[in-house]
C-alpha cells in the first residue's frame, strides 16, 4: 500500500548560499512530480520535517530555497552537495499557469516570496511568447537580502522589472516597499488581458493586495500564495486549516476572491 | 438475534473473541483524575466484562483506540524510513452511538480529505463496534441535537443490566460466537431526548462568518479560557496532530518519527518557523475550535456537523466553559449579525 | 473582687483566664478543623447562656466562647459533655472518659487542618480524616504538642509553623504516550512549584529529586498524562513555632512516608515527651523538647519501632534557623543550659 507520509531519500546535487541565512539546494528528486508553486516536505531524520516551496525544477531535480529559521532548516543549512535528505511531495495547488497563457503577467514578490514564483518566471523566460508580457516587482529588505542575483539579471534583460530594497540603496534597485511601485505597472495598456501574482510575507501580501484592489484591479485577477504551518501536507494534521479550507490541499496558491475571506 | 448472557458467560465469550480480537472498552483508572481521589474513565484493552464502565460517560473518547495520542509512524536509520508495524489482531470497541458517529466524522478527514492516511486506515480496517446502548443521558450530552444519538454502524449491540448483558448480533460474522447461548428478546433502543438541547446556528455566508469571528462574544473567553487543550483531547472528533522525530541516542541516527495529538487551543499550534502565528489570543483559538465543530467541518464535507454532542469538552474543561452555552452565544451573535433574518 | 481560683487547673480544663477577674473563655476542640454544622447551635447556646453572646474562631481552629463566669464552668462542662462525646469519642475514636467534667487536658492542642481534598482542588489528601486519626493518638495527653495537617505543599495549614506539620504529597506518574508536549505542566511547575520539569523533543523530562509532590502538573495536564500514584504520601515538618523569643520555621523531618508511618510517629510522641521531660509534663511545646533532646535523640525515640515504607526519607540532621528576637538567646552560662532525659527536670544537668 502506498504511504503518502513515507519520505524518500534524495541526494543534494548543489548547495548555493544566497544570503547570510538563505540558501538554495538542488536535489535529485527522481520521479517525484511537481508543478509551479507547489511545495515539498523536507525531512532530516531525528530533526523532523518542514514545508519548503519548490523554487525551480527540471528533469529529475528540484531546487529549494530555504531560510534557516527553524530546527529543520538550520540543519539543512549544514548539509552540502553529496549529502542526503528525505523528501515527499510535491503538494498543494500551484499557480494556474495555463490561465496565464497569452496574458500580461504581473508578479509582485517580496523576499523569500520570490522562490515560489521563480520556476514559473523561468518558464516564461524559456518559452518566449507564452506570456504576452511579464512585469516583475521584486522587493528585498536590504542589499544583504537579495536572492537569485544571477536570475534577476536574466529577468531584467527579458522582462519589465522593478527591483527594490525596503531600506537600502544599491545600483539597479530602487528604494521603498513593493506596494509603492504597483502604480507604475501599465495596467491601462493591458486591457483586461492580465493576471497579478502576489507572494511574500503575510503583511506584504495583505497590503499589496489592498493596493491592487485600490488600483482597480478586479479581485479575480489576483493570485496569492499563502504561507501557513503545513505539517502533514496531506489534509490531516489540521495545522494549516482556515475555516473549511486546508491550505496544504487547496493552497498554497489562492485566487484573491477566496484568499481575502480566509481569516485565521 | 438477541441473547442474554450472565457476566460469567460474557467472560467466556470474551475469551473466545480474544483469540481473534483485542477488546477495548471504557475502563476505570482509580484516583487518576485531575483532582485527588477522583477517577478517570478512559479506553483501554480489557479482558473481563467487569472492567467495563457502562453506567458513566468516559472522560476520554473511543477515538484513542484508533488514533492513539502518541503513535509511532516510522523507524528511521540514516538511509531509510521504515513503516512501524501494527499488531495483526482485529479490534472490538465497546462504544456509544456518539463515539461511533464521531469515528465516521474522523473517517472523512483521515480517509477522504486529500490523501488517505495509511496509519489510520490500517487500524480503522480492523475495527468492529459493540454499540453500548445508552439507557440514560448525562446532563452534558446533546447527541439528539446533533443527530448522533443513533447509529447502525456496529456488529454487536449491548445493553448492560444487573449482572448480565443483552447482546444483539447484527453482523453475522459474530453469530458463531453466540451459538448455544441463551436467546432473549432484545430490541436496540437509542436515547431520544437529552436534558440539554441546542440549535446549531445557520451561518449563511462568509461575510456573516467573518463578522461572527470579529463579534464581541468571543472576548469573554480571553478571560475564561486558559488554552489548556483539555476540550480537544476529550473531544471525540478532534483529529489534529503534530509530527516529531526522536533519536534513541544523542549521536546516533537511529530513531523514530511519531505523531502526537495536537490542540488548536494550545499557543503555537499555528506558529510557523520563524515565529509568526495567526491566532494570538485565547479567544481567537477558542473561536477557531468552536466554529470548526459547528460550521467549518460541515461546510467542507456537507454531511452534518463535526461535533457529535458527546459533551466531554464541557466535562473536562477546568474552567467550567460549557460548549452548549457557547453554541447558544453563537446563536445570539449570528442573529444580531443577520438582524434575526438568516437563522432558521 | 474576692476570687480564689486555681487558674492552672481551669487552663488544663480548656478554660482560659480573662483579663476580667473571674471570667474565662472556653476552647472547644475541633479536630481536623471540621465538625457538623449542627454543633453551632451548642456554641450559640453556651455563648448566650453563660458567655457574653459572642464566639471567637480560635487561632488553632478551636471554637472559643469568652465571658464565662468561673462559677458557671461546671454547668458549661456538663453541657459540653455531649459535644465532647460526639466529636472526640464518636468522630475520632478517642479513648477518654466523658463524665461531664469537660476536657481532661489542654496538652495536645487542637489538631488543625486545611479543608483538604474533600473540597480543595489542590489538595492531595483528606486532611480531616488524618487529623482525626492523629487526635486519637495524641489526645488526651498532658504533653504539649501543636499539630496541623496540610493537604498539599502550598501549606495553607502552616505545617511549617507547628511542632508537627503534616503535609499531603503525591508521587506523580507520567505516561509518555498520553503526553502531547503542550508544556502546561512545565509552566505550572515553574510558576507554582520547584521548576523540575522541562520539555525535551515534545515530551517531559523531570528532575525527580526536587519534586515537592504538589500535583500542579496533574492539575495542569489536559490529557491525564500526569496522574497521582494511588498511594498517599506525607511530609512531616518539625520544630516550627511562633512566639516572642525565637520563632522559627520548621524543618523537614520525614518525606514520602505513608499514613501508617505518620501515625506510628505520633504514637511515639507522648513517649518521647515523657522521656524528654523525665515524666513530668510542663507547659513546654514539642519543638522545645526536640531542641533539648537534640535531633539525633529525638529521631531515635520517635522512630522507635516504626516500620518505614520503602519510599520514606528521614532527615539525617537538621540545621535549625531561629529568628532570635533577643540577641544571643542561645548563648548562656553552662549552668543555665537546658537538658533532657532522666533527672533533667530536677534542676540537675
Kindly report, residue by residue over B244-282, the tens digit of the pLDDT: 998 887 777 789 999 999 999 999 999 887 778 889 999
Chain C neighbors (3+ CB pairs < 8 Å): B
Closest CB to B229 among C202, C222, C227 = C222
Mean of pLDDT values over C82-95: 96
Whether residue A1 has pLDDT greater than 90: no
Same domain, C155 and C287: yes
- Angle at A231 (CA atoms; ends A27, B274), nearest 5 degrees: 80
Chain B CB contacts of A248 under 8 Å are 114
Counted residue by residue, chain A has a size of 264
For residue range B18-28, what is the model confidence (pLDDT) as tens digits? 999 999 999 99
In percent, the amount of chain B with pLDDT more than 70 equals 98
Question: Has A40 been labeled as part of a binding site?
Answer: no
The whole-angstrom distance between B175's CA and the closest CA on chain A is 32
The predicted structure's pLDDT at residue B135: 87
**Is A264–B79 a contact, with Cβ atoms under 8 angstroms apart?**
no
The predicted structure's pLDDT at residue C347: 56
Q: What is the CATH number of the domain that holds C147?
A: 3.30.413.10
Q: Which of A172-176, B150-154, B229-233 has the lowest mean pLDDT?
A: A172-176
Same domain, C124 and C35: no
Q: In terms of DSSP H, where are the helices of C92-140?
A: 127-138
The predicted structure's pLDDT at residue B344: 43
**Is A6–B74 a contact, with Cβ atoms under 8 angstroms apart?**
yes
Output the nine-digit C-alpha cell for C230.
Answer: 494511588
pLDDT band of residue B342 (cuts 50, 70, 90) is low
Same domain, C126 and C236: yes
For residue range A76-129, what is the model confidence (pLDDT) as tens digits? 999 999 999 999 989 999 999 999 999 999 999 999 999 999 999 999 999 989
Cα B187 from Cα B1, distance rounded (Å): 9
Q: Which fold would CATH assign to domain A8-91?
A: Elongation Factor Tu (Ef-tu); domain 3 (2.40.30)
**Is B273–A70 a contact, with Cβ atoms under 8 angstroms apart?**
yes
Whether residue B78 has pLDDT greater than 90: no
Domain residues of chain A, as ranges? 8-91, 97-259
| DSSP single-letter state for residue B271 | P
pLDDT band of residue C285 (cuts 50, 70, 90) is confident
Average pLDDT, chain C: 94
Question: Has A248 been labeled as part of a binding site?
Answer: yes
Same domain, C188 and C316: no
The predicted structure's pLDDT at residue C321: 87
Mean of pLDDT values over B80-104: 96
Comparing A70 with A252, the larger pLDDT belongs to A252
Enumerate the β-bridge partners of residue B90. Answer: B21
Q: Which helix (H) or strand (E) holds A57?
A: strand A48-58
Residue B331 has phi, psi (to 5 degrees) of -55, -50
Mean of pLDDT values over C284-308: 94
Count of structural domains within chain C: 3
Q: Which residues contact B170 (CB under 8 A, 6 or more apart)?
A: B152, B154, B155, B156, B157
Interface of B with A in 51-70 (CB under 8 A): none
**Is C222–B37 a contact, with Cβ atoms under 8 angstroms apart?**
no
**Is B244–C219 a contact, with Cβ atoms under 8 angstroms apart?**
no
Question: Has A237 been labeled as part of a binding site?
Answer: yes
Give the three-class secondary structure for B160.
strand
For residue range A69-83, what is the model confidence (pLDDT) as tens digits? 888 999 999 999 999
For residue range A139-164, what is the model confidence (pLDDT) as tens digits? 999 999 999 999 999 999 999 999 99
The predicted structure's pLDDT at residue C323: 78
Q: Could you give the C-alpha distances from B115 to A235, A236, B298, in angstroms and in order?
A: 7, 8, 19
Closest CB to B31 among C168, C225, C228 = C228
Chain B CB contacts of A86 under 8 Å are 81
**Is C219–B35 a contact, with Cβ atoms under 8 angstroms apart?**
yes
**Is C181–B260 a contact, with Cβ atoms under 8 angstroms apart?**
yes
Q: At what angle do helices C286-293 and C295-302 cross, to 10 degrees?
A: 110
- Angle at C176 (CA atoms; ends A246, B269), nearest 5 degrees: 25
Please state, as a whole number, how many other Cβ atoms lie within 10 Å of the Cβ of residue C70: 18
B244 touching chain A per CB within 8 A: yes
Whether residue B343 has pLDDT greater than 50: no
Same domain, C299 and C253: yes
**Is A243–B245 a contact, with Cβ atoms under 8 angstroms apart?**
no
The predicted structure's pLDDT at residue A221: 96
Tell me if A111 sits within 8 A of A145, measured CB to CB.
yes
Question: Has A232 been labeled as part of a binding site?
Answer: yes
Residue B206 has phi, psi (to 5 degrees) of -65, -35
**Is B318–C219 a contact, with Cβ atoms under 8 angstroms apart?**
yes
The whole-angstrom distance between A127's CA and the closest CA on chain B is 32
Question: Which of B272, B286, B291 has the most A C-beta neighbours within 10 Å, making it the best mutation to test the interface with A?
Answer: B272
Closest CB to B276 among A50, A86, A202 = A202
Whether residue C330 has pLDDT greater than 80: no
Nearest residue to B254 (alpha-carbon basis) of B78, B72, B82, B74: B78
Structural domain that includes position C76: 7-91
Closest CB to C182 among B31, B263, B318 = B263
C1 within some domain: no
Q: Which CATH architecture has domain A97-259?
A: 3-Layer(aba) Sandwich (3.40)
Closest CB to B228 among C177, C201, C220 = C220
Domain boundary residue, one of C57, C91, C125: C91
Cα B271 from Cα C165, distance rounded (Å): 47
Same domain, C21 and C38: yes
Nearest CA in chain A to B213: A263
The predicted structure's pLDDT at residue C95: 94
Cα C239 from Cα C286, distance rounded (Å): 7
Nearest CA in chain B to A74: B273
Same domain, C160 and C259: yes
Interface of B with A in 69-88 (CB under 8 A): 73-74, 76-81, 83
C337 within some domain: yes
Same domain, C77 and C34: yes
The predicted structure's pLDDT at residue C327: 66
Closest CB to C124 among B30, B36, B59 = B36
Cα C89 from Cα C79, distance rounded (Å): 16
Cα B185 from Cα B183, distance rounded (Å): 7
Secondary-structure percent of chain B, ordered helix, strand, coil, rounded to 5:
35, 20, 45
Cα A29 from Cα A84, distance rounded (Å): 11
Closest CB to B118 among A3, A72, A241 = A3
In percent, the amount of chain C with pLDDT more than 90 equals 84
Same domain, C15 and C38: yes
B228 touching chain C per CB within 8 A: yes
What is the pairing mode between strands A194-199 and A104-110? parallel
Nearest residue to C240 (alpha-carbon basis) of C330, C329, C158, C160: C160
Nearest CA in chain B to C123: B36
Same domain, C293 and C340: yes
For residue range C108-164, what is the model confidence (pLDDT) as tens digits? 999 999 999 999 999 999 999 999 999 999 999 989 999 999 999 999 999 999 999
Q: Which of A108-112, B75-79, C49-53 has the lowest mean pLDDT?
A: B75-79
Q: Where are the beta strands (DSSP E) in chain C?
A: 15-17, 23-28, 56-57, 63-69, 112-113, 147-150, 164-169, 172-174, 197-200, 203-206, 226-228, 233-238, 251-257, 313-314
The predicted structure's pLDDT at residue B340: 58
Cα B132 from Cα B54, distance rounded (Å): 8
For residue range A182-234, what is the model confidence (pLDDT) as tens digits? 999 999 999 999 999 999 998 999 999 999 999 999 999 999 999 888 899 99
Nearest residue to A86 (alpha-carbon basis) of A3, A1, A5: A5
The whole-angstrom distance between B295's CA and the closest CA on chain A is 8
Mean of pLDDT values over C61-78: 97
| DSSP single-letter state for residue B237 | S
Q: What is the CATH number of the domain that holds C211?
A: 3.30.70.20
In percent, the amount of chain B with pLDDT more than 90 equals 91
The whole-angstrom distance between C228's CA and the closest CA on chain B is 6
Chain B neighbors (3+ CB pairs < 8 Å): A, C
Same domain, C127 and C198: no
Burial class (CB in 10 A: 0-12, 13-18, 19+), C319: exposed
Whether residue C349 has pLDDT greater than 70: no
Domain residues of chain B, as ranges? 2-67+86-178
Same domain, C236 and C218: no
Residue C147 has phi, psi (to 5 degrees) of -130, 145
Domain boundary residue, one of C40, C56, C91: C91
The predicted structure's pLDDT at residue A220: 95
The predicted structure's pLDDT at residue C324: 73
Enumerate the β-bridge partners of residue A24. Answer: A16, A65
The predicted structure's pLDDT at residue B341: 59
Amino acid at each position: 500500500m502506498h504511504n503518502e507520509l513515507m519520505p524518500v531519500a534524495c541526494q543534494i546535487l548543489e548547495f548555493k548560499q544566497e544570503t547570510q541565512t538563505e540558501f538554495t539546494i538542488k536535489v535529485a528528486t527522481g520521479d517525484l512530480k511537481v508543478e509551479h508553486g507547489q511545495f515539498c516536505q523536507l525531512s532530516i531524520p531525528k530533526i523532523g520535517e518542514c514545508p519548503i516551496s519548490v523554487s525551480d525544477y527540471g528533469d529529475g531535480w528540484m531546487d529549494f530555497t530555504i531560510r534557516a529559521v527553524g530546527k529543520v532548516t538550520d540543519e539543512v543549512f549544514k548539509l552540502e552537495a553529496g549529502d542526503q535528505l528525505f523528501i515527499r511531495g510535491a503538494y498543494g495547488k500551484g499557480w494556474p499557469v495555463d490561465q496565464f497563457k497569452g496574458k500580461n503577467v504581473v508578479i509582485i514578490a517580496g523576499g523569500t516570496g520570490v522562490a515560489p514564483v521563480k520556476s514559473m518566471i523561468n518558464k516564461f523566460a524559456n518559452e518566449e511568447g507564452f506570456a504576452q508580457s511579464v512585469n516583475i516587482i521584486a522587493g528585498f529588505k536590504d542589499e544583504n537580502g537579495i536572492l537569485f542575483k544571477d536570475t534577476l539579471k536574466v529577468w531584467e534583460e527579458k522582462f519589465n522589472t522593478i527591483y527594490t530594497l525596503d531600506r537600502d540603496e544599491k545600483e539597479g534597485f530602487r528604494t521603498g516597499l513593493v506596494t509603492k511601485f504597483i502604480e507604475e505597472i501599465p495596467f491601462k495598456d493591458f486591457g483586461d488581458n492580465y493576471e497579478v501574482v502576489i507572494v511574500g510575507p503575510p503583511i506584504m501580501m495583505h497590503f499589496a493586495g489592498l493596493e491592487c484592489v485600490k488600483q482597480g484591479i478586479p479581485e479575480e485577477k489576483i493570485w496569492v500564495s499563502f504561507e501557513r504551518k503545513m505539517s502533514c501536507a496531506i489534509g490531516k494534521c489540521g495545522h494549516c486549516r482556515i475555516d473549511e479550507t486546508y491550505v496544504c490541499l487547496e493552497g498554497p496558491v489562492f485566487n484573491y476572491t477566496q484568499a481575502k475571506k480566509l481569516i485565521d | 438475534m438477541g441473547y442474554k448472557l450472565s457476566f460469567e458467560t460474557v467472560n467466556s465469550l470474551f475469551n473466545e473473541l480474544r483469540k481473534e480480537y483485542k477488546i477495548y472498552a471504557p475502563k476505570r483508572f482509580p484516583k487518576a483524575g485531575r483532582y485527588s481521589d477522583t477517577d478517570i474513565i478512559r479506553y483501554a484493552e480489557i479482558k473481563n466484562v467487569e472492567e467495563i464502565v457502562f453506567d458513566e460517560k468516559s472522560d476520554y473518547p473511543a477515538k484513542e483506540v484508533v488514533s492513539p495520542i502518541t503513535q509511532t509512524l516510522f523507524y528511521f536509520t540514516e538511509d531509510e524510513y521504515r513503516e512501524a508495524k501494527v499488531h495483526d489482531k482485529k479490534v472490538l470497541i465497546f462504544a456509544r452511538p456518539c463515539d461511533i458517529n464521531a469515528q465516521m466524522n474522523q473517517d472523512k478527514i483521515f480517509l477522504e480529505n486529500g490523501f488517505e492516511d495509511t496509519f489510520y486506515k490500517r487500524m480503522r480496517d480492523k475495527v468492529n463496534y459493540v454499540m453500548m446502548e445508552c439507557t440514560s443521558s448525562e446532563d452534558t450530552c446533546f447527541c439528539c441535537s446533533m443527530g448522533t444519538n443513533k447509529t447502525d454502524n456496529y456488529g454487536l449491540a449491548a445493553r448492560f443490566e444487573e449482572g448480565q448483558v443483552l447482546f444483539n448480533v447484527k453482523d453475522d460474522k459474530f453469530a458463531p460466537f453466540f451459538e448455544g447461548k441463551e436467546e432473549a428478546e432484545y430490541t436496540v433502543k437509542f436515547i431520544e431526548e437529552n436534558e440539554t438541547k441546542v440549535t446549531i446556528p445557520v451561518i449563511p455566508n462568509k461575510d456573516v462568518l467573518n463578522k461572527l469571528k470579529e463579534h464581541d462574544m468571543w472576548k469573554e473567553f480571553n478571560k475564561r479560557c486558559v488554552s489548556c487543550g483539555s476540550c480537544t483531547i476529550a473531544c471525540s472528533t478532534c483529529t489534529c496532530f503534530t509530527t516529531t522525530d526522536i533519536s534513541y541516542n544523542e549521536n546516533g541516527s537511529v530513531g523514530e518519527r511519531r505523531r502526537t495529538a495536537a490542540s488548536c487551543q494550545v499557543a503555537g499550534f499555528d506558529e510557523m518557523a520563524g515565529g509568526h502565528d495567526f491566532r494570538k489570543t485565547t479567544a481567537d483559538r477558542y473561536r477557531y475550535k468552536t466554529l470548526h465543530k459547528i460550521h467549518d467541518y460541515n461546510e467542507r464535507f456537507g454531511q452534518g456537523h463535526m461535533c457529535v454532542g458527546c459533551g466531554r469538552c464541557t466535562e473536562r474543561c477546568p474552567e467550567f466553559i460549557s460548549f452548549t452555552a457557547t453554541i447558544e452565544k453563537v446563536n445570539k451573535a449570528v442573529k444580531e449579525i443577520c438582524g434575526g433574518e438568516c437563522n432558521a | 473582687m474576692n476570687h480564689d481560683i486555681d487558674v492552672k487547673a481551669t487552663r488544663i480544663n480548656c478554660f482560659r483566664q480573662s483579663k476580667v477577674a473571674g471570667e474565662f473563655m472556653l476552647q472547644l476542640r475541633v479536630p481536623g478543623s471540621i465538625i457538623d454544622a449542627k454543633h453551632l447551635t451548642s456554641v450559640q447556646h453556651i455563648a448566650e447562656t453563660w458567655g457574653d453572646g459572642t464566639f471567637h474562631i480560635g487561632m488553632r481552629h478551636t471554637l472559643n466562647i469568652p465571658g464565662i463566669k468561673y462559677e458557671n464552668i461546671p454547668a458549661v462542662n456538663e453541657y459540653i459533655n455531649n459535644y465532647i462525646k460526639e466529636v472526640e469519642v464518636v468522630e475520632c475514636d478517642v479513648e477518654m472518659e466523658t463524665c461531664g467534667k469537660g476536657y481532661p487536658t489542654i496538652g495536645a492542642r487542637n489538631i488543625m487542618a486545611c479543608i483538604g481534598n474533600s473540597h480543595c482542588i489542590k489538595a492531595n489528601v483528606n486532611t480531616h480524616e488524618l487529623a482525626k486519626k492523629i487526635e486519637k493518638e495524641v489526645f488526651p495527653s498532658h504533653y504539649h504538642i501543636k499539630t496541623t495537617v496540610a493537604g498539599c505543599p502550598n501549606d495553607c495549614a502552616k505545617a511549617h509553623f507547628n511542632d508537627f506539620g503534616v503535609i499531603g504529597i503525591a508521587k506523580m506518574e507520567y505516561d509518555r504516550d498520553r503526553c502531547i508536549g503542550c508544556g502546561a505542566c512545565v509552566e505550572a511547575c515553574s510558576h507554582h512549584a520547584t521548576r523540575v520539569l522541562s520539555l525535551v523533543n515534545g515530551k517531559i523530562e523531570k528532575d525527580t529529586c526536587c519534586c515537592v509532590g504538589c500535583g500542579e502538573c496533574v492539575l495542569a495536564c489536559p490529557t491525564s498524562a500526569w496522574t497521582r500514584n494511588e498511594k498517599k504520601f506525607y511530609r512531616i515538618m518539625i520544630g516550627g513555632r511562633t512566639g516572642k523569643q525565637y520563632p522559627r520555621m520548621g524543618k523537614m523531618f520525614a518525606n514520602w512516608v505513608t499514613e501508617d508511618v505518620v501515625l506510628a510517629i505520633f504514637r511515639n510522641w507522648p513517649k518521647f515527651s515523657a522521656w524528654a521531660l523525665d515524666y513530668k509534663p510542663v507547659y513546654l511545646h514539642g519543638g522545645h523538647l526536640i531542641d533539648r533532646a537534640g535531633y539525633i535523640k529525638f529521631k531515635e525515640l520517635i522512630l522507635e519501632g516504626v516500620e518505614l515504607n520503602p519510599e520514606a526519607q528521614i532527615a539525617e540532621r537538621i540545621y535549625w534557623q531561629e529568628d532570635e528576637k533577643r540577641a544571643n538567646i542561645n548563648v548562656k552560662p553552662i549552668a543555665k543550659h537546658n537538658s533532657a532525659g532522666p533527672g533533667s527536670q530536677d534542676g540537675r544537668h
